[in-house]
Amino acid sequence: MRGRGDIVGSIAAGGAIGALARWGLAELIPHGTGEFATSTLIANVVGAFLIGVLMVVVVEVMQPTRLVRPFLGVGVLGGFTTFSTYTLDLHEMLREGHPGAAAAYLVVTLVGGLAATAAAIAVTRHLLVREGAQ
């Protein structure tokens, strides 16, 4: 931990921001116990997309910095995405007798997140090359 307080602090600050954004989304698009959790799905897929954008920009474009990835990647986007809630939602859908919705939620979240990340990487690289940023 010695010499890393700034990193831990940036992760904590980013995590608070991301968690508040996720809470706001859940308030905007609420769901009941055992219902399809649209807000969680959106948070995870949008978060996966933003992680793809962030990694291209941070790794391929920006000069190395100590706090950008911990703050934005681990903190903000780690706090915004919520795979723990995703698994709880799956469990509740199954418990409430909705195996079809649970299976759809499982597949759409996983495939959607992977596709969103891949699309973000491709689109970000394309836009940056077009703009001459790389």
Average pLDDT over residues 61-84: 92
pLDDT for residue 52 is more than 70? yes
Q: Which domain holds residue 86?
A: 5-131
The dihedral formed by the CA atoms of 46, 50, 52 and 58, expressed in degrees to the nearest 10: -170
pLDDT for residue 134 is more than 60? no
Quote the pLDDT of residue 1.
Answer: 63
Residue in the block written with tokens 């959790």: 37
pLDDT for residue 106 is more than 60? yes
Tally of structural domains, the chain: 1
Q: How far apart are CA 18 and CA 73, in angstroms?
A: 10
Is 81 annotated among the ligand-binding residues?
Answer: yes
**pLDDT category, 102, cuts 50, 70, 90?**
very high
